[in-house]
Amino acid sequence: MKEARDRARSLGLSNAEYVVEDARKMSFIDGQFDGVRVDRTLQHVADPALVIMEMARVARKGGRVVCAEPDWGSFFIDDDDVRCVAAVSDIWTGSIRNRKIGRQLPRFMTAAGLTQIQTSGYLLATYGLKDVNLVFDVKKTAEFLAQSNPASGVASWYEKLELRDSRSPVFAGVTIIVAAGVRG
């Protein structure tokens, strides 16, 4: 919260308030906000549809609800070893509670009574193994897989990936879906 306050001050905003709420049942009254936004959070919550319904509830009539979430079905690592890439991808994306949330946003927003749904997709791309690991934990996932299944070949695959990265940086990414709707 300190970071949010510092950022608001740096932007010259003196009237910002910060509260911690349960996104499934917020204490705000119906229609209290002009807009409500969530960014890369619904992928982790137990019931993202319920959170979107609650976001719609606290938005005023005509207010906007915006959600930005990854669609982990689009996750990729550019490498020719399809088997190892798939194994690492399955472990990584399998650890995410709602890995298809990006593609589900329009449906959940419509179910929450939002109208005028607009969607766009953006590639969250990383170039170079350092950034790939910073964002997607590929090394940590490969280590986990190699330890739990030494016969997988993932350990040697990752070593080859490191060597290749020194000549031609590794490219990996995922699609972020942004969906916006209006409370009717």
Structural domain spans, the chain: 2-183
- Averaged confidence pLDDT in the chain: 94
CATH classification of 2-183 is 3.40.50.150, yes or no? yes
Nearest to 74 by CA among 176, 177, 174: 174
Query: Is pLDDT at 1 greater than 80 in this prediction?
Result: no
pLDDT of 104 higher than 90 = yes
Compute the distance between CA of residue 76 and CA of residue 172 in angstroms, rounded to an integer. Answer: 5
111-125 confidence digits (pLDDT tens): 999 999 999 999 999
- pLDDT score at 7: 83
CA distance 84 to 149: 12
Residue 169 has pLDDT above 90, yes or no: yes
Residue with the bigger pLDDT between 65 and 5: it is 65
Average pLDDT of the residues in 129-149: 95
- Which residue carries 């419509």 as its tokens? 110
> In this predicted model, what pLDDT tens digit does every residue of 56-83 receive, in sequence order?
999 999 999 999 999 999 999 999 999 9
Average pLDDT over residues 22-31: 94
SS3 29: coil
Sign of CA dihedral 17, 22, 25, 27: negative
Place of tokens 């942004």: 178
**Any idea which residue has 């194994």 for tokens?**
87
CA distance 121 to 177: 5
Rounded distance between C-alpha atoms, residue 36 and residue 58, angstroms? 8
Across the chain, the runs of DSSP E, i.e. the strands, are 33-39, 59-77, 114-127, 171-183
The predicted pLDDT at position 17 comes to 81
**Please, which pLDDT band fits residue 9 given cuts at 50, 70 and 90?**
confident
Give CA 44 to chain center in angstroms.
Answer: 9
Instruction: Give the mean model confidence (pLDDT) for residues 140-163.
Output: 93
How many angstroms separate the Cα of 141 from the Cα of each of 86, 123, 158? 12, 21, 10
* pLDDT range class, residue 13, cuts 50, 70, 90: confident
The confidence score (pLDDT) of residue 101 equals 98
Length of the chain: 184
Q: Are 136 and 172 in contact (CB under 8 A)?
A: yes
